[in-house]
A and B are shown apart, each in its own frame.
Chain A
Amino acid sequence: MAHIQLHDIRKSYGAAEVIKGVDLEIRAGEFMVFVGPSGCGKSTLLRLISGLTSISSGELLFDGARMNSKVPSDRGIAMVFQSYALYPHMTVYENMAFGMKLAKAGKAAIRERVERAAEMLQIGHLLERLPRQLSGGQRQRVAIGRAICRDPRVFLFDEPLSNLDAALRVATRLEIAKLHHDMEKATMVYVTHDQVEAMTLADRICVLRDGKVEQVGTPADLYEKPNSTFVAGFIGSPKMNLLNGAIAAGHGCRTLGIRSEHIDITGEGAVWSGEVVHAEDLGSDTYLYVDIGAEEPVVVRREGRRAIALGETVGLRPRPENLHRFDAGGLPLH
């Protein structure tokens, strides 16, 4: 269990700065997710924490101890890679034991720890197989098992689910959540570009944009109190309606945000009205796209199946308490 502190961490390749001064605390035992669009620097930041990439400037502390110049294996970390990165010529057992073997652990200790991790992940029956004889999901379990065997202070996950198909991704996500629960003492840092993964797994989420931290907070915080239009647009599915122009000006702001579930369809007291141009029926909910004269249609969630025909004109009433107002710089107005 480690408390991680990043103080003004920067990374540049030549003249190009990719991490532009990140200050962040990751609490001991916390599940922290780095999320952001591709190229935002989230993977680089993870690699700076792991030690695989060296820090250009700033300070990285684990439990108060400076880590900048420590090599990865001395930091007490374990890493799970997107491509699993199993050693192809070693059996599952050897893959999981490799780190301990290099650390000159005793044979019995190795066996015990490998077997315990294998049991935890239900891969005990695969120990003598080679990675190429395993399915994608099994390989990722082995990769996680290998991380567990290192008994790390910090688990680092670099988009571990991206190579799995949709169904397996959900199953493995649950597995990782359970793992975090079982291993109470482990701090986990997880990188993903998928905000659903971020929302479902994280204790706290760190949204990165262009090498800088945009916002850090619990999933609920980010969802309810995004402190920029960027976060508002990035977190949540479907994304928050962001309206500009006259509609926003009417509320005294540059951009007005409202989530689809916070708009009621109503006949009386309607603030906006427009034609239904498209509808997505998901069974439990229906998303209606209503053209109210803004740049894009407003998305409105309606529980159950739709009873409104395309082309029909509806009245909309956003709940005032759920309106988000942003200024010209994309920052919230209070």
Chain B
Amino acid sequence: MTALDLTKKAGFALAVATIVTVSVFPFYYAVITSFETGTALFEVNYLPQGFDFGNYLAVLGQQAFPRNVLNSVFIATATVGAALLLAVTAAYALSRVRFRGRGLLLMTILAVSMFPQIAVLSGLFEMVRFLGIFNTPWAMILSYTIFTLPFTVWVLTTFMRDLPVEIEEAAIVDGASPWVVITQVFLPLLWPAMVTTGLLAFIGAWNEFLFALTFTASETTRTVPVAIALLSGASQFETPWGTIMAASVIVTVPLIVLVLIFQRKIVAGLTAGGVKG
């Protein structure tokens, strides 16, 4: 091995190390901060100083926070469930049936998924008031549909388009109606795609902030991101960094675990949603 090769290898290793450190360090630092209370919190520590669960007890002991987690779980699950239900049949129609205006429809759906949320905020606000669902989870479930539904339709359409045509034709010859093709032939083949799509939409709904901030008015109806953003300390000028970090770790760890488990599928889903070449 020549000296040049060695430098190249070292440079490459350095690049990899930098990427990993920059990616992981902020979360690592949040985790060690979440285990610090009192004065330890206000010293800069690069290594964990021990495990003090005080912040976790404080945040979970609050009346509102566990409720906020439940709200988020319920809202995200319901939104994703509804979106998948509506999207599966729509994706079948968009990927499998030839009809006039299909391309235009697909572009419109993609356009809706890229809407700036603020552009519909006042209209949605009126609708939420009209339906009497202001400050309830239903306001979020309804409004999140604006981005989860187009996204799931788009991704499932891309996945469904890749299923072999002949399998569907064999099913048609066997007497399967479009509904039977979807439920008995395509769904069993598509469940990995469904899981991926669902997970991505779930993350989107879990992280949403603007609608949740606007359509909730009390501590107990907030979702997790709003709760964390508005978490305040004893006085207005004192930010409770310890509890904020504990709350952040609580809502992020499940997400990271899910993402790591499904990482390959997520990459496939992201590329299907964004780019396919």
A binds B: yes
On whether the beta carbons of A99 and B175 are closer than 8 Å, the reply is yes
On whether the beta carbons of A83 and B166 are closer than 8 Å, the reply is yes
Kindly report which residue of chain B lies nearest to residue A77, judged by CB atoms: B173
Q: Does B238 contact A (CB under 8 A)?
A: no
On whether the beta carbons of A87 and B173 are closer than 8 Å, the reply is no
Contact A83-B164, Cβ < 8 Å, known A88-B189, A89-B188, A102-B180:
yes
On whether the beta carbons of B172 and A73 are closer than 8 Å, the reply is yes
Q: Does B112 contact A (CB under 8 A)?
A: no
Cβ of B191 to closest chain A Cβ, rounded Å: 9
Give Cα A79 to B175, complex, Å: 12
Q: Which of B189-235 contact A (CB under 8 A)?
A: 189
Q: Does B162 contact A (CB under 8 A)?
A: no
Q: Which of A80-99 contact B (CB under 8 A)?
A: 81-83, 85-89, 98-99
Residues of B within 8 A of A78 (CB): 173
On whether the beta carbons of A102 and B176 are closer than 8 Å, the reply is yes
Residues of A within 8 A of B176 (CB): 73, 98, 102
Give Cα A52 to B173, complex, Å: 8
Cβ of B230 to closest chain A Cβ, rounded Å: 47
On whether the beta carbons of A73 and B185 are closer than 8 Å, the reply is no
Contact A87-B171, Cβ < 8 Å, known A81-B166, A82-B166, A102-B180:
yes
On whether the beta carbons of A103 and B189 are closer than 8 Å, the reply is no
Partner of A73, one of B167, B173, B184: B173
Q: Does A72 contact B (CB under 8 A)?
A: yes
Residues of B within 8 A of A73 (CB): 172-176
Residues of A within 8 A of B189 (CB): 88-89
Kindly report which residue of chain B lies nearest to residue A156, judged by CB atoms: B173
Cβ of B157 to closest chain A Cβ, rounded Å: 20
SS class, residues of chain B in contact with chain A: helix
Q: Does B170 contact A (CB under 8 A)?
A: yes
On whether the beta carbons of A85 and B174 are closer than 8 Å, the reply is no
Q: Does A301 contact B (CB under 8 A)?
A: no
Give Cα A317 to B172, complex, Å: 57
Residues of B within 8 A of A52 (CB): 169, 172-173
Partner of A85, one of B164, B180, B184, B188: B164
Bin chain B's interface residue count: 10 to 19
Binary contact track B174-186/A, C-beta < 8 Å → 1, others 0: 1110001000110
On whether the beta carbons of A87 and B185 are closer than 8 Å, the reply is yes
Kindly report which residue of chain B lies nearest to residue A72, judged by CB atoms: B173
Give Cα A246 to B17, complex, Å: 80
Number of A-B contacts (CB under 8 A): 54
Kindly report which residue of chain A lies nearest to residue B177, judged by CB atoms: A102
On whether the beta carbons of A85 and B166 are closer than 8 Å, the reply is yes
Q: Does A50 contact B (CB under 8 A)?
A: yes
Residues of B within 8 A of A102 (CB): 174-176, 180
Partner of B170, one of A71, A79, A89, A103: A79
Give Cα A109 to B173, complex, Å: 20
Q: Does A150 contact B (CB under 8 A)?
A: yes
Q: Which of B67-96 contact A (CB under 8 A)?
A: none
Q: Which of A81-137 contact B (CB under 8 A)?
A: 81-83, 85-89, 98-99, 102-103
Cβ of B37 to closest chain A Cβ, rounded Å: 53
Residues of A within 8 A of B174 (CB): 73, 98-99, 102, 146, 150
Residues of B within 8 A of A146 (CB): 170, 174
Residues of A within 8 A of B164 (CB): 83, 85
Give Cα A99 to B169, complex, Å: 12
Cβ of B215 to closest chain A Cβ, rounded Å: 41
Cβ of A100 to closest chain B Cβ, rounded Å: 9
- Most B CB contacts (10 A, CB to CB) among A77, A79, A146 go to A79
On whether the beta carbons of A50 and B173 are closer than 8 Å, the reply is yes
On whether the beta carbons of A85 and B175 are closer than 8 Å, the reply is no
Give Cα A4 to B274, complex, Å: 49
Cβ of A75 to closest chain B Cβ, rounded Å: 9
Give Cα A72 to B171, complex, Å: 10
Cβ of A99 to closest chain B Cβ, rounded Å: 4
Cβ of A35 to closest chain B Cβ, rounded Å: 21
Give Cα A150 to B174, complex, Å: 8
Q: Which of A33-75 contact B (CB under 8 A)?
A: 50, 52, 71-73
Residues of A within 8 A of B175 (CB): 73, 99, 102-103
Residues of A within 8 A of B180 (CB): 102
Cβ of B103 to closest chain A Cβ, rounded Å: 15
Cβ of A144 to closest chain B Cβ, rounded Å: 12
Kindly report which residue of chain A lies nearest to residue B175, judged by CB atoms: A73
Give Cα A277 to B97, complex, Å: 56
**What are 11 A-B pairs with beta-carbon distances under 8 A?**
A73-B173, A73-B176, A81-B170, A85-B164, A85-B167, A85-B170, A102-B174, A102-B175, A103-B175, A150-B173, A150-B174
